[in-house]
Amino acid sequence: MGIKSLSQLNLQNAKVILRCDFNVPIKDGVIGDAGRIVASLSTIKKLLAANCSVVIIAHLGRPKGEVKPELSLAPIAKKLGELLNQEVLFSPEITGISDKARALKSGQILLLENIRFLSSETSKEESERMKLANELSTYGDIYIGDGFGAVHRKHASVYELAKLLPHAAGDLISGEVAVLEQLTKNPSRPYGVVLGGAKVSDKIGVISNFLDKANLIAIGGGMVFTFLAAQGKEIGKSLVENDLIDTVKELMIRAEKLGVKFLLPIDIVVASEFSADSLPTTVDSDQIPSDQMGLDIGPKSAENFALEIKLCKTVFWNGPMGVFEFTNFSYGTKVIAQALTQVDGMAVVGGGDSAAAVRKLGFADKDFGYISTGGGASLEYLEGKELPGLIALS
Ligand code: AMP
């Protein structure tokens, strides 16, 4: 796609506007997994080394145009300051601060409050987004896009703002795109795609796009029950998207025709309630009792998936195999994560949630070939869609 990189801009002493993705898990002001903040450091450090002043625009969660104190970026400013070992200024105001932004000195960083507190950021009306982008463009002379997790969104600070100023992608976006290109152009084979998580609807496009590209597709997580239902199996109280049953039937037929190995779990860990304390039982996947719900793939399936994954030379994984947040239902995800660490080739963990899952389960980033910071963004890229935030940086 030919996006511009940092090295193509003269950064020395520049007044930079940097778009980051600081969408980290946060509860009562305490950050759970700071992966996305850490991922932004490379670009920020380069800008500081070039004596830039940096205004950072970022988002957290989906406040939908309202001020939600629990989604404030104030704790992020503090965390970023700790990671950089320097003060990070914070502005609760997002608009009307042109003078303050332009008065920043070389080496100073100002983080603005959650941009999604403004409805114009995500507005469907181009004119509203443009108005905000025009205002933000007065805060600096150069735009650097580095919020990979938001590049699939046509939002004011991701798309319109980039087009108003000389621009480039930061190191994070450049790195993410390089990995995604490797996954789409000439991947080493066998090529496996492992998908889990709650919703099939999020992943239909990727599965469909991969049918003629991957050699192996393995499905787990809550989305698996729509596939099992499509095979006519009893799925009890498990998650299901009934309106997609016909679609997934077609996907499985196409997979068979194309000779793609399409793995579904043969056993399932079930429980009577969606709760951390629910008693887990393992049953064959065609023996799910009607009063139970599937909350993890079973151990036999996990071993089977792991065996196949380890034979691959390229693997992309998005979405947990079960409710990994509850220890009783985290085994499947752990076995798959372990298998990815043993791939003799390129193993990519895609997405903020999947990344948080592997870290929560005790794995280190360096155990994997690459951990992407953007779930939705990497899935849409792999679906073959054009991403507005990348187009704007070309
Ligand atoms: P997603 O955002 O679609 O990747 O979904 C991630 C979420 O899926 C995690 O919070 C998991 O707890 C959840 N999940 C995984 N497996 C199941 C399951 N069998 N039933 C319900 N939720 C699940």
Q: Provide mean pLDDT across the span 48-70.
A: 97
Q: What is the pLDDT of residues 78-101, one digit of tens each?
A: 999 999 999 999 999 999 999 999
Q: What is the pLDDT of residues 267-318, one digit of tens each?
A: 999 999 999 999 999 999 999 999 999 999 999 999 999 999 999 999 999 9
Share of the chain above pLDDT 90, in %: 93
pLDDT at residue 356, rounded to an integer:
81
* Mean pLDDT, the chain, whole residue set: 96
pLDDT at residue 355, rounded to an integer:
85
Beta bridge partners of 142: 16
236-257 core/surface letters (b: 16 or more CB in 10 A; e: else): bbbbbbeebbebbbebbeebee
Q: Using a 6 Å cutoff on CB, does residue 323 contact ligand 1?
A: yes
Q: Using a 6 Å cutoff on CB, does residue 197 contact ligand 1?
A: yes
Model confidence at 2, pLDDT cuts 50, 70, 90, reads confident
Coil, strand, or helix at residue 166?
coil
Share of the chain above pLDDT 70, in %: 99
Smallest CA separation from ligand 1 atom 15, residue: 322
User: What is the CATH number assigned to the segment(s) 179-382?
Assistant: 3.40.50.1260
For the chain, the structural domain boundaries read: 6-171, 179-382
Q: Provide mean pLDDT across the span 4-25.
A: 96
Q: Provide mean pLDDT across the span 220-225.
A: 98
Query: Is 379 a residue whose pLDDT tops 80?
Result: yes
Give residue 327's Cα distance to chain centre.
23
Lowest mean pLDDT among 109-113, 126-130, 355-359: 355-359
Evaluate if pTM is beyond 0.85: yes
Mutate to test the pocket of ligand 1, among 353, 360, 361 (most ligand atoms within 8 A of CB): 353
- As given in the structure block, the two tokens for residue 230 are 């499509």
Cα–Cα–Cα angle for 16, 19, 21, rounded to 5 degrees: 150
The DSSP bridge pattern shows strands 293-297 and 281-284 to be: unpaired
- As given in the structure block, the two tokens for residue 5 are 């990189």
Please report how the helices 299-311 and 331-341 are oriented relative to each other, as an axis angle in degrees rounded to 10: 20
User: 333 CA to middle of ligand 1, Å?
Assistant: 11
Asked if the domains at 6-171 and 179-382 fall in one CATH topology, the answer is yes
Phi, psi for 309 (deg, rounded to 5) = -60, -40
Q: Report which DSSP code applies to 94.
A: -
Q: What is the pLDDT of residues 125-161, one digit of tens each?
A: 999 999 999 999 999 999 999 999 999 999 999 999 9
pLDDT at residue 360, rounded to an integer:
87
| Residues classed as catalytic | 36, 199, 352, 376
AA letter at 216: L
Coil, strand, or helix at residue 277?
coil
Model confidence at 1, pLDDT cuts 50, 70, 90, reads low
Lowest mean pLDDT among 113-117, 340-344, 347-351: 347-351
**Alpha-carbon span 276 to 349, nearest angstrom:** 25
- Which of 138-147, 194-203, 344-353, 359-368 shows the highest mean pLDDT? 138-147
Question: If you count DSSP H runs as helices and E runs as strands, how many of each does the chain have, helices first?
Answer: 16, 17
Please identify which residue in the block is written with the tokens 């690459």: 370
Q: Peptide bond before 190: cis, by omega within 30 degrees of 0?
A: yes
User: What is the CATH number assigned to the segment(s) 6-171?
Assistant: 3.40.50.1260
Coil, strand, or helix at residue 133?
helix
Which distant-in-sequence residues (6+ apart) come within 8 Å of 290 by Cβ? 234, 236, 237
Q: Using a 6 Å cutoff on CB, does residue 198 contact ligand 1?
A: yes
Q: Using a 6 Å cutoff on CB, does residue 286 contact ligand 1?
A: no
**Alpha-carbon span 333 to 319, nearest angstrom:** 9
**Alpha-carbon span 219 to 129, nearest angstrom:** 38
Q: Provide mean pLDDT across the span 315-330.
A: 95
Q: Provide mean pLDDT across the span 161-176.
A: 98
Query: Is 354 a residue whose pLDDT tops 90?
Result: no
Query: Is 357 a residue whose pLDDT tops 90?
Result: no
Model confidence at 198, pLDDT cuts 50, 70, 90, reads very high
Locate the ligand 1 atom nearest the alpha carbon of residue 326 and give its number: 12
pLDDT at residue 256, rounded to an integer:
96
- As given in the structure block, the two tokens for residue 358 are 């592997």
User: 198 CA to middle of ligand 1, Å?
Assistant: 4
Q: Using a 6 Å cutoff on CB, does residue 187 contact ligand 1?
A: no
**Contact between 339 and 306 (Cβ < 8 Å):** yes
354 annotated ligand-binding residue: yes
pLDDT at residue 102, rounded to an integer:
97
Model confidence at 195, pLDDT cuts 50, 70, 90, reads very high
